Amino acid sequence: MLLKWKSPRSIEHKENRRRYTTALVRLLYRRSGFNALPMIAIGFLGIILLGSLLLTLPVASATGRRIPWFDALFTSTSAVCVTGLVVRDTGTAYSTFGHVVLMLLIETGGLGFMTFATLLFRLMGRGFTMRDRMIMRESLNQDDLGGVVNLVMWVASSTFAVQLVGAVLFSIRLIPIYGVARGLFFSAFHAVSAFCNAGFDLFGGGRSLTGFSSDALMNLTAIALVVVGGIGFGTVHDIIDKRSFKRLRLNTKLVLVSYGALLLTGFFVVLAFEWSNPDTLGPLNPWQKLLAALFQSVTLRTAGFNTIDQAALRDSTKLVGGLLMLVGCAPASTGGGIKVTTFALIVLTVRMVARGESSIVVFKRRIDRTMIQRAVAIAFIALAVAFVDICALSLLQPEAAFLDLYYECVSAVGTVGISAIGTANLCPLARLLIIITMYIGRIGPLTMALLFTKRQTRARELVKYPEDRVMLG
C-alpha cells in the first residue's frame, strides 16, 4: 500500500488555511450577533427543570410517594451543577429509578449537555451546523472550530472508559458488601459521581465515604477519578498526545503545576491543622492520617466526597478550605470554581507588579493582557457572589455559626458539595439562594455577568480617550 507523502510546506499551508477559516467564521458569527453563552445557560436550565420533574414522579421515590417539587429541584440543580449538596438523603429517599435519573443528570452536568447532544446526533446520523460547532467550542473552552466534533466524541469515549475502570475497582469492595447486582450499580454510580466531581453517594445517612476512610483502594480510586475529571478534557488529551512536559501547551503546563500546588497546599494545611483534632484525624494512625488529609485536599478541588466529619473541622481549616474550594478545578473540566488557571494568573500578576515588570512571562510564553483582565473579572465576580450569599445566609440563618455559613456558600459557588451545617437544616429561602448560587457556579460567574450586560458596539470600542493616572495603595 502506497502512502501519499506530504511536504512540510503543504502541511503548513493546510494549517494556515484552517486557522484562516476558523477566524473568518468567528468574525461572521460575531457580526451576525450570535452568542453561544445563552444557549449553554438555557441548556443547563432546561436539563435541571426536566430532572426536577422526573424526580417528582412516584416511581423515583423510595416510598412511592411524590417528593416535593422544590426538594426535587434542589436535588436536580445539585446534580446537573455537579455540586453534591442535598436536602434529602440520596441513598434512602430515592428509588433505583431515581438513582438512575440522578446518575444521568450528573453525567450530563459533568460532560455538558452538548456532549450528549453530539452523541445523539451521531447516532441519528444528523449533521452539525456551524452554530452547533460554535456551541461545542464554547462548552469545551476551545479556540478553534476545526476538529471540535471529533474532540467531543473523544471526550465522551474516554470518559466512559475511565469510569468503567473506576467502577471495576470500586466493585472489588462493594460487591462483597452489597451483592452482585446492587454492588455493580453502586460501583457505576460512584464512579460517575467521582469522575464528574459531583459528590453524590448512595450509602445513606449522609456518610459519604466515611465508612471507607482507611480503605486505600476506595480512597485512591476516588482520588484518581476526581483528579482526571478535574484537570480538564483538553489537558488529558494534550498529555496523551504530547507525552512530554516540554511539548505540552502552555494551558496544560499551567493547569498541572497550579493544580498540583493547590493539592499539596491543601494536604499540608489539613495535616497540620487537624493532626491532633480528636473528631477528625486525631484517632487515626499516621498512615490513615496521610490518606485522610490527601482525600480532604482532593475533595476541596470540588469533589464533594468526604471521609472525615466536615462539621468537626477546626475553624482555621474551614477558612483555608473555603478559599481552596473557591479556586476549584481546571477549565473545561467536570469541576467548578474560578479555575486553577485564573488563580495562577492572579498570582503571576501580583508577582509581575512586585517585580516591576510590564508583562507576565511563564514557561517562556508571554500572557495576553486580556487574559489577565478576564482572570481578575472572574475572581472579583465570584468573590462578590460569595460575599452576597454569606451576608444573605447570615440574615436567614442567624442561629448558625458564621464559618459554617461561609463554608456552605463557598461550597455552592465552587460546586464542591461538602457541608458543615447540613444543607437540609436551611430554611426554604436559604435553599433557593443555594440553588441560584450552584447554577451560577456551574455556568461560570463571568458567563452569568455577560448574559445580563450589553456588549459595547464596535464603533464605541474604537473611541480612544486620553490616559490619566490615579493614586493606588
Domain assignment present for 50: yes
Contact indicator for 389, 437 with CB cutoff of 8 Å: yes
Of 375, 373, 378, 371, the closest CA to residue 444 belongs to 378
Average of pLDDT values for 200-216?
Answer: 86
Q: Which three cell numbers stand for residue 397?
A: 440563618
In a domain, 247, yes or no: yes
In this model, does residue 15 exceed pLDDT 90?
no
Top pLDDT among 391 and 34 is at 391
Q: Above 80 in pLDDT, residue 41? A: no
Q: What percent of the chain has pLDDT over 90?
A: 45
- With cut-offs at 50, 70 and 90, classify the pLDDT of residue 354: confident
Cell numbers given for 269: 494545611
Which H or E run includes 362?
A: strand 361-362
Phi, psi of 94 (to 5 degrees): -115, 150
Whether pLDDT at 25 is above 70? no
pLDDT confidence of residue 243: 78
Is the residue at 189 inside a domain?
yes
CB 89 within 8 A of CB 415: no
Neighbouring residues of 292: CB distance < 8 A, sequence distance ≥ 6: 213, 270, 280, 281, 284, 307, 308
CA nearest 44: which of 316, 378, 438? 438
Q: How many domains does the chain fold into? A: 1
Between residues 307 and 140, the one the model is more confident about: 307
User: pLDDT digits over 286-321, tens only?
Assistant: 999 999 999 999 999 888 888 899 999 999 999 999
Examine residue 11 and state whether it is found in any structural domain, yes or no: no
Q: What is the pLDDT of residue 12?
A: 54
CA distances from 296 to 97, 218, 258, 306, 321 (A): 31, 14, 17, 7, 9
Residue 37: its pLDDT value, please? 63
Measured between its terminal Cα atoms, the distance across the chain in Å is: 70
Q: Are residues 445 and 338 in contact, defined by beta-carbon separation less than 8 angstroms?
A: yes
Cα 225 to Cα 145, 191, 222, 402: the distances in Å are 28, 7, 5, 33
Is 463 inside a domain boundary? no
Percent with pLDDT over 70 in the chain: 79
Whole-number pLDDT of residue 11: 46
Pairwise CA distance, residues 271 & 282, whole Å = 10
Q: Please indicate, yes or no, if residue 468 is contained in any of the structural domains.
A: no
Q: CA 304 to CA 85: how far, in whole Å?
A: 8
Does some domain include residue 456?
no
The tens digit of pLDDT for each residue in 215-263 reads 999 999 999 999 998 888 778 888 888 878 888 888 889 999 999 999 9
In a domain, 12, yes or no: no
Nearest Cα neighbor of 122 from 136, 107, 106, 104 is 136
State the residue range of the domain holding 245: 24-448
Measured between alpha carbons, how far is 366 from 256 in angstroms, rounded to an integer? 18
Q: How confident is the model at residue 1 (pLDDT cuts 50, 70, 90)?
A: very low
- Structure confidence by residue, pLDDT tens digits, 167-195: 999 999 999 999 999 999 999 999 999 99
**Predicted confidence band of residue 13 (pLDDT cuts 50, 70, 90):** low
pLDDT digits (tens, 9 = 90+) for 59-111: 999 988 999 999 999 999 999 988 889 999 998 999 999 999 999 999 888 87
Distances (CA, A) of 120 to 87, 117, 123, 249: 32, 5, 5, 31
The model's pLDDT over 359-390, given as tens digits with 9 standing for 90+, comes to 888 888 888 888 888 888 888 989 999 999 99
What pLDDT does residue 149 have? Answer: 65
Residue with cell 464596535: 458
Task: To the nearest 10°, report the CA torsion of 377, 37, 196, 250.
Answer: -60
> What is the average per-residue pLDDT within 427-444?
90
Average pLDDT over the chain, rounded to whole?
Answer: 83
pLDDT the model gives residue 234: 79
Q: What's the CA angle centered on 87, arms 83 and 90, to 5 degrees? A: 75
